Structure 1
């Protein structure tokens, strides 16, 4: 048992009445849209279909009642995060980091192994 070196995993999200409000998948997708400047570029990096990504964004937008992304120019110009999308992404990432750091400290406190991130 002393030879174990477990790695901690945390996955958190917000939901209401079993409807996804915001979680790690949406955060990754928004971060990639921000990085690439387009949904097409984002889905390539995440290895998912355009349709699935667009459907996910629309579902979260419908559940929240806000737009997460904004079209830039014409059809070929891509997307950027809306102000609400940027704010939500930053809030989620800050919350996730705080939860992960707290969880790691607690795991290291409670378990006899050197728990890592």
Structure 2
């Protein structure tokens, strides 16, 4: 048996960061562009752009900046790296709590209830 949970961070009821944004930024690092990241994640460029810009607006700082490779290349800002690290730590800590809860949950629930 497994216990599952989705995790994201909100401010004033609006998502500022979560697993989807984490994957999007990881894909930007891998591909060097937002278009490449969108393709990698099988999403439209418009959806990727919208999520990125929404997070930047809600956070109050940029997550990406133009790279030295030309107009289209993107790199993550230092702030983006920091928030990705914070989110990864949050996920790891939450996973530890879930594993403890799984261990305490009876495997034979139908006989325990």
- TM category, shorter: 0.7 to 0.9
| Corresponding residue number in structure 1 for 2:107 | 113
Point out where structure 2 has 5 or more consecutive residues left out of the alignment: 109-113
| Corresponding residue number in structure 1 for 2:86 | 91
- Are 1:49 and 2:80 counterparts? no
Q: How many corresponding residue pairs?
A: 107
Tell me whether 82-91 or 19-28 shows the greater mean CA deviation: 19-28
Q: Which has the higher contact order (CA 8 A, sep 6+)?
A: 1
- Are 1:62 and 2:57 counterparts? yes
Question: How far apart, CA to CA, are the structure 2 residues paired with 1:71 and 1:113?
Answer: 51
TM score, norm. by length of structure 1: 0.84
TM score, norm. by length of structure 2: 0.86
Superposition deviation, residue 8 in structure 1: 2.8
Aligned-residue RMSD, C-alpha:
1.5
Point out where structure 1 has 5 or more consecutive residues left out of the alignment: 1-5
Superposition deviation, residue 32 in structure 1: 1.1
Superposition deviation, residue 75 in structure 1: 2.0
Superposition deviation, residue 7 in structure 1: 2.9
Q: Secondary structure at the match of 2:106?
A: coil
Question: How far apart, CA to CA, are the structure 2 residues paired with 1:69 and 1:99?
Answer: 27
